[in-house]
C-alpha cells in the first residue's frame, strides 16, 4: 500500500503538471480556468492563498479565482512567477479580504501583487490596524494590474502603488494619511476617495524621483469626500507628479490644496496639476503658488491612457470557463483526485 502522504504528493505534482501543460499556451482571453474559493467547503479551496498556490509557476493561461461571499481573514500574496490571475467576488460589500498588520511598508500589506497581468474585481481589501503606523491594505509591485469596483480601506498608506502601470476603475479608496502612495504610473477613473483624516491629512504621496520618469498618479472623473479636512497631496519624491481632472472636490479639500512636506525645494520640481475640477473644494484661488491650474493644452496628455501604455493590456472579463474541479476529475483515468 502506498502511504497517504505520497499519494497526496502525487496529486499535487500531477495536477499542477496537467494544469500547466494543458493550458499554459492559451491566448484566448475570453476563456478562463475557474478555481472556486468557498469558506463553507463547497468550492475547490477554503482559502484564497491555497487557490493561488496551485497555479503553476510561469503560468500564461487566464486563471479566474472566484471568491464566494464571506470575510477571509488572511494575508494574501500573488507571487511574481504567477501572472494572469484574477481575483473576483460578486459584490465588494460581501466579499472581504482582511488582515491587521503594521510597520514595514513592504511586509504589512493585506494583499500583495507581485505578478504581472493581475486583475481584481468586486472585492473589499482592508487593513484594520488603524491609526499610529503604516498599515497597507494593498501593495502593487508589478506591471499591468487593474482593479474594478473594489473597496480598499485602511488609515495610513492604504494603497502602496509601488511600481508598474496600473488602472483603478470605480473603486472606493479610504484612508487618512498618504493613503495613495508609491511610484507607479496609474490612472484612477471614476473612483471615490474618502479621507478619514481629522486634520489636513494628504490623499496622495507620489514618489517620482526623476524628471525623466514616466510615473505619476492621474485622477479622472473622481469624487473626493472627507470627515474633516484633507490635502490633495504632498511629495514623497522630489519630482512627485499628480493630476486631478474633472473631479468633484467637497469642502473637505483645504483651499491650499497641496503641501510640500517641509521641503520647499520641491516647489520647483514637483508637478501638481488640476483641470476642470468642481465643487466647493475645487476653487484654485487659494492654492499654493507652485501648483498648476492646467490649460486644455497642458491637460491633454493626462486625459489619455498613455501613462499606462495606452491600456492595450486591459481585457474584458472572461465569458467562458473551464472549472478547475472538472480538470482534476478528468485528469487521470476519469478518477477525481
Instruction: List 219's β-bridge partners, or say none.
Output: 188, 244
Q: How many residues does the chain have?
A: 337
Would 335 be classed as within a structural domain?
no
Question: CA 312 to CA 283: how far, in whole Å?
Answer: 35
Contact in structure between 186 and 308 (CB atoms under 8 Å): yes
Q: What is the CATH number of the domain that holds 90?
A: 2.160.20.10
Would 143 be classed as within a structural domain?
yes
Question: CA 156 to CA 190: how far, in whole Å?
Answer: 22
Would 208 be classed as within a structural domain?
yes
Would 113 be classed as within a structural domain?
yes
Question: Catalytic: 183?
Answer: no
pTM strictly above 0.85? yes
* Residue ranges of the chain with per-residue pLDDT less than 70: 1-27, 326-337
The predicted-structure confidence for 129-151, as pLDDT tens digits, reads as follows 999 999 999 999 999 999 999 99
Would 262 be classed as within a structural domain?
yes
From 157, 161, 162, 183, the catalytic residue:
157
Select from 84, 99, 44, 83 the least CA-distant residue to 67. Answer: 44
What pLDDT was estimated at residue 226?
A: 98
Question: Catalytic: 228?
Answer: no
What pLDDT was estimated at residue 325?
A: 72
What pLDDT was estimated at residue 328?
A: 58
Would 53 be classed as within a structural domain?
no
The predicted-structure confidence for 216-265, as pLDDT tens digits, reads as follows 999 999 999 999 999 999 999 999 999 999 999 999 999 999 999 999 99
> Which residue range is the domain that position 147 belongs to?
65-316
Measured in degrees and rounded to the nearest 5, phi and psi for residue 325 equal -65, -35
From 162, 178, 183, 259, the catalytic residue:
178
**CB count in 10 Å sphere of residue 17:** 12
Would 333 be classed as within a structural domain?
no
**CB count in 10 Å sphere of residue 184:** 27
Select from 161, 100, 162, 182 the least CA-distant residue to 133. Answer: 100
Amino acid at each position: 500500500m502506498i502511504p497517504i502522504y505520497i499519494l497526496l504528493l502525487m496529486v499535487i505534482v500531477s495536477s499542477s503538471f496537467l494544469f500547466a501543460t494543458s493550458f499554459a499556451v492559451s491566448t484566448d482571453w475570453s476563456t478562463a480556468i475557474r478555481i472556486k474559493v468557498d469558506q463553507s467547503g463547497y468550492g475547490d479551496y477554503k482559502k484564497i492563498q491555497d487557490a493561488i498556490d496551485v497555479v503553476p509557476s510561469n503560468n500564461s493561461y487566464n486563471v479566474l479565482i472566484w471568491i464566494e461571499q464571506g470575510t477571509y481573514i488572511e494575508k494574501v500574496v500573488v507571487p511574481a512567477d504567477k501572472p494572469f490571475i484574477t481575483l473576483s467576488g460578486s459584490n465588494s460589500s460581501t466579499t472581504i479580504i482582511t488582515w491587521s498588520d503594521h510597520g514595514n511598508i513592504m511586509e504589512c500589506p493585506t494583499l500583495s501583487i507581485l505578478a504581472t497581468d493581475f486583475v481584481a474585481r468586486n472585492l473589499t481589501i482592508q487593513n484594520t490596524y488603524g491609526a499610529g503606523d503604516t498599515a497597507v491594505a494593498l501593495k502593487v509591485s508589478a506591471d499591468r494590474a487593474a482593479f474594478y469596483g473594489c473597496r480598499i480601506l485602511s488609515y495610513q498608506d492604504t494603497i502602496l502603488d509601488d511600481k508598474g502601470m496600473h488602472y483603478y476603475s470605480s473603486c472606493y479608496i479610504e484612508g487618512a494619511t498618504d493613503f495613495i502612495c508609491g511610484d507607479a504610473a496609474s490612472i484612477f477613473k471614476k473612483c471615490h476617495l474618502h479621507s478619514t483624516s481629522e486634520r489636513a491629512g494628504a490623499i496622495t504621496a507620489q514618489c517620482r524621483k526623476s524628471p525623466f520618469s514616466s510615473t505619476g498618479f492621474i485622477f479622472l472623473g473622481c469624487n473626493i469626500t472627507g470627515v474633516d479636512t484633507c490635502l490633495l497631496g504632498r511629495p514623497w519624491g522630489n519630482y512627485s507628479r499628480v493630476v486631478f481632472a474633472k473631479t468633484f472636490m467637497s469642502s473637505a479639500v483645504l483651499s491650499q490644496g497641496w503641501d510640500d512636506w517641509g521641503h520647499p525645494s520641491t516647489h520647483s520640481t514637483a508637478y501638481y496639476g488640476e483641470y476642470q475640477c468642481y465643487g466647493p473644494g475645487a476653487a484654485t484661488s487659494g492654492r499654493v503658488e507652485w501648483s498648476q491650474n492646467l490649460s486644455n493644452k497642458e491637460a491633454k496628455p493626462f486625459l489619455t491612457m498613455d501613462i499606462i501604455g495606452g491600456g492595450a493590456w486591459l481585457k474584458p472579463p472572461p465569458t467562458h470557463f473551464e472549472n478547475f474541479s472538472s480538470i482534476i476529475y478528468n485528469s487521470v483515468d476519469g478518477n477525481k483526485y
